Structure 1
């Protein structure tokens, strides 16, 4: 009897998960042998901006998997040093105009990406659907939204938003969706968001672009600094 399309898709997802799990255990040529942040050239952003706002979602249960993610032993933002320095300059520039960044994710270990793929392959686990992918089937997430290899693992990609501050009180700007909302509405230039939401996204984009960060068009919160990484190298150093 022929294998159904759904069964075949499930097998493909599981095969991808197994391959990535093996990669985490026994690094291939594209995975750095570094075992510490220092060996990987990673810096804690708070060594440059001690009071930067952080809300590292994958170190806790408030994320699309519904649980702390493998590799996140501490809620820290690590980045390749050049990327950390560039992000610190973005923060300094924004503060002069009454704005600040809030960081949701930075460097992401390869083992965390493998955990995402395993989660995507478990089509029976849908606890977070209403909050994170209300308009998509879970079988549609792997690819555009959950990649088997993430740029975050290269150490120069950040997920973040923008806040407006008066004195010491800061309020997040309305960006039209929450973080990790898997839906076309989260596309940076989505025409369905309001004029205010679009303007807020553009303010963030312009501030980041001024220091060379490039936006991923499907996620308004996602930025990478290509000049700070080796394109063929990812890392699996845990965040601790």
Structure 2
């Protein structure tokens, strides 16, 4: 027995060291796991989109609105077949306006967002060639401007819009965009109170930033300062 004692002690010591070693591995593993969790939970720096500046641009320059703000919503109907033409007349969905129109829209939208809503676009600048197509279908100046004279849409100073909440849900305005009928008239007050309140919010806010409406379309707004601009017919480039 005495001869075996050194061997027994050696085995016990080795066993203890192995247990200590295993214990250290577990601690290291837990430590690394916690370290990874901490790293994963750290807020990564948000890379803010760099928007273009209006500095150095003439008020009459045409610009792509999305390059200057991402606070708008879009449903560009003439880039789809969901419009009164029943035809896609824009190669791709883009919203262009003159610089002065863009500035006014951004200011108006800031005010809307303070109230929990924002602008959604159906149409912005419209090439004059498209105006001719519209006139061929609806040759009625109550609804479509004569393309010979041109629409303020063709000048980059008009927009067709509605309001959505900050989750993107449209406010009830009583009709769809491009509804040709009295239910879309501003002076039609025979509508539910909610619709009248929504239209009033849209109209009064837009007017506060230099826009004016037309009687027959709750969605249409012209910038007063753009009335004398020239009619344009350029078509924007589409992304590849």
TM-score by length of 1: 0.69
Larger radius of gyration: 2
The answer as to 2:120 corresponding to 1:107 is: no
Shift of 1:229: 4.5
- C-alpha separation between the residues in 1 aligned to 2:61 and 2:228? 12
SS at match of 1:100: strand
- C-alpha separation between the residues in 1 aligned to 2:173 and 2:76? 18
The answer as to 2:79 corresponding to 1:59 is: yes
The answer as to 2:116 corresponding to 1:98 is: yes
- C-alpha separation between the residues in 2 aligned to 1:51 and 1:199? 23
Q: How does 1:112-123 map to 2 (within 5 A)?
A: 112-120=130-138
**Please, which runs of 5 or more residues in structure 2 have no aligned partner?**
1-57
> Where in structure 1 do 4 or more consecutive aligned residues deviate above 3 Å?
none
Which has the bigger relative contact order, CA under 8 A and spacing at least 6?
1
The answer as to 2:232 corresponding to 1:235 is: yes
Shift of 1:51: 4.2
SS at match of 2:221: strand
Match of 1:33 in 2: none
Residues 157, 223 of structure 1: 8 Å contact kept: yes
Match of 2:40 in 1: none
Shift of 1:84: 0.5
Picking from 48, 69, 86, the partner of 1:49 is 69
Residues 64, 97 of structure 2: 8 Å contact kept: yes
RMSD (Å), alpha carbons: 1.6
Match of 1:136 in 2: none
Q: Deviations over 1:190-240 (max 9, x none)?
A: 122111101100000111112111111110000011213525x21001133
SS at match of 1:207: helix
Q: How does 1:11-50 map to 2 (within 5 A)?
A: 41-50=61-70
- C-alpha separation between the residues in 2 aligned to 1:146 and 1:224? 14
TM-score by length of 2: 0.69
